[in-house]
Structure 1
C-alpha cells in the first residue's frame, strides 16, 4: 500500500506543469502545503474524503484548490480522494440513498405524489428523478456520509500520527539507552 500511495501521490513538479493549476501554482506549491505535519495531514484526509464523496469529477484538482484555504496537505488530500473509485462508488451511492431516505422519512410518505405523476408525463427522466424522492435522499445521504467519514478520517489520521510519533520517540529513547550501556 505505501508503494501505491508513493507512486500515485502527486509530486510538486507535476502540479507545476498542470495547465489547470498553472495560474495558481505559486499558491498551491507553497512548501507548508506539502509538508507532513500533525495538523496538515488530518486536514488533508478530511478534505480528501469530502471531495472524494461529494465531487464527481476532477477530484484531485478540486482537493488541491481547497487545500489552500484549509491549509491542508495537498498530496494527502489528493490521494485520499481515491477513496471513491469505480468499485466503491456504487455501494456508497446506494448506502447514501438508504441513509437519506431514512433521515428524510420518505418511507412514511406516499411514493406517487401529484408532482411526480405530472413530471413523468411531460418532463425528461432526469427532471422526473430530481422531483422524485431519490435525488433529495441521495444528496442528503452523500452529504451526511461525507461529513461523518471526514470526521472519522480526521481523528483516525490524527491518532495514527500520534502513535507513529510516539513509536519514533520510544525507538529513539531505546537507542539512547542501548548506546549508554
Structure 2
C-alpha cells in the first residue's frame, strides 16, 4: 500500500535522468538502487529530502540529489520532497525556523521588514542570520529524523496490515 501510494506521485526516472541540472552526476545516475523503491530507500529519501527542504540555500534539489547518490536512497523521492518549501510555504516555514533559532540561542526576536536590496540582505545576515541558520539546521534535523522513522513506521504498518489481510 505505501509503496503503491508513493510510486503514484513519483516522476518517471527516465525524465529525471534527462534533466540538464543532474547531468553533473553522470554515470552515477544509472545505479538501479537510486530508482528502486523499498522501505530502506524510501525512509532514507524522506530523510535527505526533508533535511534539504529546510536548508535555505539555492539549488536544494541538486544538494538532495548529491546526498541521495552516496546514501543510495530513492533519488526521485528525495528530490521531490525538497519542494515542501515552495514559494507559498517558504515564508512561514523559514519564519518558524527563525523562531526556533531565537529560542535555541536565547535571544529576543528582531523586528525586520523585507526589502529587495543588497543592503537589507547584508544587514539581515548580521542581525537575524545566526538565529535563522541555527533554527534552520534544527528544523532540518528534526524533520529528517521524523521523516525517517515516520516512513519506517508507516511502511511496516502497511506491510503488516496487508499480511494480516492476506492471511484472512
TM over 0.5, shorter chain: yes
Distance 1:68 1:82 in 2: 18
CA RMSD of aligned residues (A): 2.4
What are the equivalent positions in structure 2 for 1:144-155 lying under 5 Å apart? 144-155=138-149
User: Are the counterparts in 2 of residues 49 and 149 from structure 1 also a CA contact under 8 Å?
Assistant: yes
Please report the TM-score for the alignment, with normalisation by the length of structure 2. Answer: 0.82
1:136 aligns to 2:140 (yes or no) = no
1:96 aligns to 2:97 (yes or no) = yes
Match of 2:52 in 1: 51
Report the CA distance between 1:153 and its aligned residue.
0.9
Residues 69/129 of structure 1: CA separation in 2 closer, same or farther (3 Å cut): same
Residues 4/89 of structure 1: CA separation in 2 closer, same or farther (3 Å cut): farther
Report the CA distance between 1:21 and its aligned residue.
2.1
Residues 51/19 of structure 1: CA separation in 2 closer, same or farther (3 Å cut): same
Please report the TM-score for the alignment, with normalisation by the length of structure 1. Answer: 0.77
Report the CA distance between 1:105 and its aligned residue.
1.4
Where structure 2 has 5 or more consecutive residues not aligned to the other structure, the ranges are 111-117
* Structure with bigger RCO (C-alpha 8 Å, 6+ apart): 2
Distance 2:101 2:56 in 1: 18
Matched residues, number: 158
Bigger Cα displacement from structure 2, 51-60 vs 72-81? 51-60
Report the CA distance between 1:59 and its aligned residue.
2.8
1:161 aligns to 2:125 (yes or no) = no
Where structure 1 has 5 or more consecutive residues not aligned to the other structure, the ranges are 112-122, 175-181
1:62 aligns to 2:63 (yes or no) = yes
Distance 1:4 1:35 in 2: 12
